[in-house]
Amino acid sequence: MAQYIVKRLLLAIPTIVGAITLVFFAMHLAPGDPMSLFIPPDLPPARTEELQREVNAKYGFDKPLYQQYIDYVGRLSRGDFGNSLREGTPVWDNLERRIPNTLRLGLTALCVSTVLGIAIGTLAAIYRGSWIDHFSMFISLLGVSVPSFWLGLTLILLFAVRLAWLPPSGLGDGVFTWNLVMPVSVLALGSIGSLARYTRSCMLEVINNDYVRTARAKGLRERSVMLRHALRNALIPIVTILGLNFGFVLSGAVIVESVFAWPGIGRYLIDGVNGRDFPVVQATVLLIAIAFVFGNLVTDLVLVYLDPRIRLE
């Protein structure tokens, strides 16, 4: 098992390096000039040129692009994520304060979407063709179709502005607060829809297998047949989707955190993109890429636990 984990981590290195490279060149070649962060528009031309040379020398913008990339990778290998161009503070210090907020939001949404998605999909499969099935699939289709930014603004207008039941934005005090309700609902809804539809499909395949009919013939209760035999075997492909959802939930938090002013890495990334803050964008995308890799690794290990027939080789 340890050898397999090491092998997977080594295979993840090209993925992370590719993400770093893509984001680096995309940010540097995209339209826009980070000099606007340092040079006021009303400066005289002579002073503007002088200040521009100073900034270029300070941040290495006067070097060729390939040399800037080599320098960045070298700093990254030493654990140096650089300083924010806008704030002048170390990027990692800012991320350390925001990562727990994003994990709190993302993991809560992941737990909610997992429980509700599997439950809805299982009920839809058990009562196939009934109104429960049709209603469940309608809710699932609605969840994957509604844009998260529109849903977030609608919830704010309804529950925060009109009814004044929930706070419209912010972090709140404590671990689980009322501030979590709307962002978690928006973030989890899409995952609930996709997971419910996939669970229903997997359950319908498993229900018709011989071992399920044998369990029924032995006189086991229907609830025991569905939970201990059908659902357990249907979970094997479902776990794969859960591993992907972990990364998608964290990346989806980019929009949700912006809508609800949630101080996490998603909002930090949007601010960095809008401000052409290269170190912020590169560090945040690197964390999201690592989250995807970690989610896939954990998924494979859980699959081995659920199905011993899987060979790690």
The pLDDT tens digits along the chain (313 residues) read: 677 677 777 877 888 888 888 888 887 776 666 666 666 666 666 666 777 777 777 777 778 888 888 888 888 888 888 888 888 788 888 888 888 888 888 888 888 988 898 888 888 888 888 888 888 888 888 887 888 888 889 999 999 888 888 888 877 776 677 888 899 988 888 788 888 888 888 888 887 777 777 777 777 777 777 777 677 777 777 877 777 777 667 666 788 888 888 888 888 888 888 877 888 888 888 888 887 777 777 777 777 776 666 554 5
Please spell the DSSP secondary structure of 68-120, one letter per residue.
HHHHHHHHHHTT---B-TTT-SBHHHHHHHHHHHHHHHHHHHHHHHHHHHHHH
Residue burial 84-119, b: 16+ Cβ < 10 Å; e: rest: bbbeeebbeebbeebeebbbbbbebbbebbbebbbe
**Domain-wise residue ranges, the chain:** 99-306
For residues 256 and 221, is the Cβ–Cβ distance under 8 A? Answer: no
Other CB atoms within a 10 A radius of the CB of residue 28 amount to: 15
For residues 255 and 148, is the Cβ–Cβ distance under 8 A? Answer: yes
The amino acid at residue 25 is F
For residues 34 and 83, is the Cβ–Cβ distance under 8 A? Answer: no
Residue 296 corresponds to which tokens in the numbers above?
Answer: 């896939």
Nearest Cα residue to 282 out of 98, 39, 83, 47: 83
Residue 64 phi/psi, 5-degree rounding, is -60, 155
The reply to whether the predicted model has a pTM over 0.85 is no
The fold for domain 99-306 equals MetI-like fold (1.10.3720)
